[in-house]
Amino acid sequence: MALLTANNVAIERGGRRLLSGLRLSVESGDIWQLVGANGVGKTSLLRALAGVAKLGVSGQIKRDQPRLYLGDAHALKKNLSALDNLRCHPACDIHASDEAIFSALASLHLAGYEERPVGSLSAGQQRRVALTRLLLSQAPLWLLDEPFTALDVSGCDWLDAQIRSHVSAGGAVVYTSHQSSRFGALQQDIDLVHHVC
Amino acid sequence: MSADIPLLSIREAFSRQFMRHFKALMGSPTDMANPLLFFFMVVTLFPMGLGPNPERLSVMAPGLLWVVALLSSLMVSSKLFGSDFEDGSLEQLAVAPYPLAILVMGEVSAHWLGTGLLLAVVSPLFGVMLGLPAHGLDVLFYSLVLGTVCLTLIGAIGSALTVSIRRGGLLMSLLVIPLNVPVLIFGNTAVSEAVSGGNPSTWLALLGGFAMGSLALVPIAISAALRVSLDN
Amino acid sequence: MGSPPWFFRFSGAVVRWLLPLTIGLLLLGAAWGLLVAPPDFRQGNSYRIIYVHVPAAVVALAGYYVMAFAGAVSLIWRIKMADVTMRAVAPVGAVLTAVALVTGAIWGKPTWGTWWVWDARITSMLILLFLYLGVIALFEAYENKTAAARACAVLSLVGTVNIPIIYKSVDWWYALHQPASIKFTGESAIDSSMLHPLLLMIGAFYCLFALTVLLNMRAELVWNHREASWLKQMVRNV
């Protein structure tokens, strides 16, 4: 089952063509990594696939399924607690009970921080609050922008395991990263350099 | 993984956005106090600039109060979507499976409750300071309740259009002030009529009509403007 | 339709006959209004400034609607030429509004004895000028020019809905505060010997507006497509 299909997608930004002729079909169970040097348009493509940016994007992008997009900004209000931030998340995709949010936060080693203002947490902890959405949202398609940055080794391992279990349950993940392939044979790469004309 | 993911009702999605921004506003009391302090300061300036003569002040009071209300509403509205743009909330709103116009209205209503309505509630106090006759105070309150709805909505368009621009604050006043002219005229005239013994209800009705029209049309403009800002 | 080469050729043909037509109408209207039309029995010759003031004001207001219409087309159908139109109209409209304001002030001096009065019509024109300046400033502030055109389209549509309300509210405001002594007869009372040259001048200003907007659009197109082969081809053929 295709969760997202892109056909002949081209992206233009500031009069410059970032990529063109991109074809992509994300099936359930897929992991796709967008690779390429800084400035080739990894984030632009991910934003276009997620539907955040529409201007300068041509071609067809079809998404039938709810999607979870995680950008480099965490979408957390600094003076709200982690609990409130997740309960009233702007993406409106969390239907979990408060108990479920508590246990999800606890599994990211945030037990005891649930009711504190997010602004008082460390950068790494804020990042983990944002990642808690992966446990709470039921969207089958994840679009993650640089998810492994600013995470310690155990955080990276946690995310790694999370992605693996998500795709084995029938979900799909598209992510950008500077690091080389983490998922070996499980994942496919889109090298953006090949799509620049 | 099942294909049918439960969706929230539109009302639930709206009220979650409302709660998010209402709690955030309550969590930063200075943001709520600043426009009131600004109002207070400027009201103090008028007797110094115009002389303390109570008759003269009370004649000018409706206009002065309304102009200051417009300016302080402009001041708070200019930052309405700023933090959402910077912290990525706007991107998340844009991918949410609900109409952006409705989600954003949740935020705007919370903003109005914490700034506009508060201003209207406090305004009779400032009216007394400027010598506004007692029978004009309630009309001042009513006109500001309706008027701040209009001012907040129009300010939200301005904020949505300029949120992606560096130093957008000044530009925002250029965009918003001309659009606010009818609100100022209706509100100020309602209060003046009440003070001079006329009938303010026509003007309050016009203000109410403007507020209703804005409530219907402005959300569409805000969501279009926010999508443009995300693309800039 | 709507492709830049097609528009460039089409507008070239239009400009070729619009330019002499505009100059002819302006000269004819000016001569009629300034030399032939009779002097006003109260204002003498000073009223003749209406042959610039009124057309400028009328076309400036119409220009805002043209701009908003182009904005709506750009938002709905994503036609690039609509963006170019919107961008070309804004400065022309702003200049016409400024002309209406300045001539209004010059007219006010002999009529009311002062350069500036907060007359309903002048105040409305001033607000219209702010609306135009807002669109121009917003366009300049955006880095991405396609996004800039979208933002201006939204703003000008909001302005279009608001303009009738602004005009009406300013009218009421003026009626409430106006001292009866300077109540001024409107254009409806104008004699036909003065009205005909005025209508001619309004027509001339519409032509002038269309001409300047077309020339603006052509200049913008040349700049946007300065590397394009069709433009080089066209220049070589001239």
For chain C, the average pLDDT equals 88
Sign of the Cα torsion C70, C71, C72, C75 reads positive
How confident is the model at residue A194, as a pLDDT? 63
> Which residues 5-44 on chain A approach chain B with CB closer than 8 angstroms?
28
Q: Residue C34 is encoded by which pair of tokens?
A: 């300034």
Selected residue of C131, C145, C152, C169 to mutate for chain B interface (largest B Cβ count, 10 A): C169
List of residues 6+ apart from C142 with CB closer than 8 A: B164, B165, B232, C148, C151
User: Residue C164 pLDDT > 50, yes or no?
Assistant: yes
For residue A64, the SS3 value is coil
Rounded Cα distance, B232 and B42, in Å? 36
Q: According to the model, what pLDDT value does residue C67 have? A: 96
Q: Is the pLDDT of residue B204 over 60?
A: yes
pLDDT number for residue A2: 84
pLDDT digits (tens, 9 = 90+) for C42-60: 778 888 888 999 999 999 9
Least confidently predicted of A176-190, B25-39, B179-193, C172-186: C172-186
The dihedral through the CA atoms of C182, C187, C188, C191 has a sign that is: positive
CA angle C52, C53, C54 (to 5 degrees): 100
CB atoms within 10 A of CB A112: 9
Q: Minimum mean pLDDT among A37-41, A170-174, C226-230: which range? A: A37-41
Q: What is the mean pLDDT of residues A186-190?
A: 80
A80 and B20: CB-CB below 8 Å? yes
Question: In the 8-state DSSP scheme, what is residue A194?
Answer: G
Average pLDDT, chain A: 87
Report, as an integer, the average pLDDT of C22-47: 88
Which range has the top average pLDDT, A147-151, B134-138, C40-44?
A: B134-138
Alpha-carbon torsion, ordered A120, A126, A132, A138, to 10 deg: 110
What is the rounded CA–CA span in Å between residue B138 and residue A130? Answer: 47
Which residues of chain C lie closer than 8 angstroms to B177, CB-CB? 130
- Comparing CB atoms, the residue among C75, C134, C142 nearest residue B178 is C134
Check whether B151 has a pLDDT greater than 90: yes
In this structure, how many other beta carbons lie within 10 angstroms of the beta carbon of residue C114?
9
- The candidate with the shortest Cα–Cα distance to B163, out of B226, B106, B88, is B226
User: Residue B126 has what pLDDT?
Assistant: 95
Given CB atoms, is B1 within the 8 Å cutoff of chain A?
yes
Q: What is the rounded radius of gyration, in angstroms, for the C-alpha atoms of chain A?
A: 17
Instruction: Give phi and psi for A169, each to the nearest 5.
Output: -90, 5
Domain C4-237: CATH architecture, name and number where available = Up-down Bundle (1.20)
DSSP state of A66: -
Q: What is the pLDDT of residue A53?
A: 85
Q: What are phi and psi of A11, to 5 degrees?
A: -125, 130
Q: How far apart are CA A72 and CA A151, in angstroms?
A: 13
Q: In the predicted model, is pLDDT for residue A197 greater than 50? A: no
Q: What is the pLDDT of residue B4?
A: 60
Among B101, B160, B181, B148, which Cα is nearest to C159's? B181
Contacts by B43-51, CB closer than 8 A, 24 or more apart = B43/B68, B43/B126, B43/B129, B43/B130, B44/B129, B46/B130, B47/B130
Q: Which of C83, C144, C154, C225 to mutate to test the interface with A (most CBs of A within 10 A)?
A: C144
Nearest CA in chain C to A53: C147
Percent of chain B with pLDDT over 70: 97
Residue C180 has pLDDT above 60, yes or no: no
Most confident range, picked from A190-194, B79-83, C19-23, C107-111: C19-23
Domain A2-65+140-195, second-level architecture: 3-Layer(aba) Sandwich (3.40)
Structure token pair of residue C78: 């994503």
- C75 vs B contacts (CB less than 8 Å): 224
Average pLDDT over residues C155-165: 94
> Do B185 and C169 make contact, defined as CB atoms within 8 angstroms?
yes
For chain A, give every domain's residue range: 2-65+140-195, 82-131
pLDDT in tens, B174-199: 999 999 999 999 999 999 999 988 89
Residue range B43-64: mean pLDDT, rounded? 91
Q: Is the pLDDT of residue C34 over 70?
A: yes
Could you say which of B6, B8, B27 has the minimum Cβ distance to residue A80?
Answer: B27
Mind spelling out the 3-state secondary structure of chain C? CCCHHHHHHHHHHHHHHHHHHHHHHHHHHHHHHHHHCCCECCCECHHHHHHHHHHHHHHHHHHHHHHHHHHHHHHHHCCHHHHHHHHHHHHHHHHHHHHHHHHHHHHHHHHHCCCCCCCHHHHHHHHHHHHHHHHHHHHHHCCCHHHHHHHHHHHHHHHHHHHHHHHHHHHHHHHHHCCHHHCCCCHHHCCHHHHHHHHHHHHHHHHHHHHHHHHHHHHHHHHHCCCCHHHHHHHHHC
Round to whole Å and give the CA distance between C162 and B23. 33
List all residues 6 or more positions away from B229 whose beta carbon is below 8 Å from its beta carbon.
B81, B85, B90, B160, B161, B163, B164, C147, C151
* 8 Å CB contact of B189 and C173: yes
β-sheet with A141-145: strand ranges across: A67-70, A141-145, A172-176, A31-35, A187-191
